[in-house]
Structure 1
Amino acid sequence: MKILKHFLASFLRSEKQKVCFPGTKQVYLFTKRPILHQDFTPKSVQDAINELQTILYAQGFLENISGNFDLETEEAVKEFQRTNNLHVDGIVGALTWACLCYPMIYRSLKILTPKLQESVKELQSILHKEGFFKKEPYGVFDRQTEKAVKHFQRTYGLKDDGIVGAATWAVLLGMRQRKDVRTPRVFCFLPLQVFSFWKQFLMLGFIILGIYHSPIPGSQPQLNTALATAYALTYIVPFVLQCIPFKQVNEQTLPLFEYAPYMLTGIFWKPILNFIEKLVN
């Protein structure tokens, strides 16, 4: 009970969010360990800086083209990232390059300039090469193109909205692992939300199972009360899992054991609710 009290008290206190990827590590990764390839030379780096500054200058983010990645260029990159809802770190990585060089395109776009048409054609070429788009590229973002984009986004874990933004461009242009041909094709056509809803359903189900089969003496709640209680308890379980050093379960080999903590939460639903009531009062 003391352990439960400690974790719930910590849960109800406002805590600072944990930084998963410290900024210094990102800088070290992208500056000290650049992307290497056969044609990587100091000249290619200089060409990239020149291209970056030219784009930033053309879009009004940079006043002077110096040929050096100086403080003014870094501030211009940060302002560009801030304007385009990217992570503001001044580092020109895959997402920033995709946003700099490729426009956002989607089916309901009213006016297609020659540049946008070329982007659509390049999109269709990539999708055709990868087997998502059956027709030859023709530069029109129609319903079939949108369907192919959504299929691609679902396959690589992106939001399947049919909008080709920076993240989708980055994955299209190579920021991805090769598809596993052994994966059944039926899964490619199911939205990721289906699997997410199924996992949430299992979480609720195991909590309700714990509530109705709890060894703690007392009367069982009605179904509507059990459902509401189980839904509320799902908010506590992830926090408890972070605080208690449980041994991580392999989701692939032991998928049902992943939900054991939810069953345990359902079993102890009365002490948990009693403790929360005391804190509130």
Structure 2
Amino acid sequence: MSDSTLLFSLDGGVATITFNRPQVFNSVNKEVALALQERLRECQRNPEVRAVLLTGTGRAFCAGQDLAEITGPDAPEVADIVEKHYNPIVELIRALDKPVLAAVNGVAAGAGANLALACDVVVAKESASFIQAFSKIGLIPDSGGTFFLPRLIGMQRASALMMTGDKVSATEAQQMGMIYKVFADDAFEQEALSLAKRLAAMPTKGLAYTKQLLNGTFGNDLTQQLRAEGDYQLRAGSTTDYREGVAAFLEKRQPTFTGR
């Protein structure tokens, strides 16, 4: 794979992964999908990575699947691409025991929108937008869209957006609870990176336990979730970060967390 189509950097505990095919609105082809999978695995393995920032170059965050790859007599089946390219990415994001921040810098369409929604925290540039574009070409929302979107904004809104393919502005997305925050265009990169650095400096082992609890919450009843909280609280209370947090509070100083 050409390193230029998916950029990667690690600085201050933040691993930044950047879609870099601006000429096709950062649409995803096989090489980008497989490279993103490997980068996410690398982030999981590398203890120096404390948080992941996923973003794009140019006018788009990610326009979803590169349609040029699925046309022609020898093109792969769409279902095969979803199974081999996108589903593993979503599963890796949700399993990663570090916070993943999607910084949506422009259009997020189709699978690109749903990859963003699979992340732990989603922020967007004020001029960005989200489109469930699948219905416009006769497909169904994939990449976890039918799982995440109804849970974020409710069944009625999710159904309408998926069926109509209407564009949602970043401000509208924030208002309906689809994303966390919107930043002004001229401050977006600085604000998104600042948030990623803030997450990286936090007790990331505890954040990982929080993420695992959230992954299971919709499949549990109240009693099951309370028991799970007790189990994970026991684990969190055994971490070095918990001891550091308590000590820093008592000593009236800023804590220094290590993710252990």
Bigger Rg, which one: 1
| TM-score (normalised: structure 1) | 0.22
Identify, as 1 or 2, the structure richer in strand: 2
TM-score (norm 2): 0.24
- Greater relative contact order (CA < 8 Å, ≥ 6 in sequence): 2
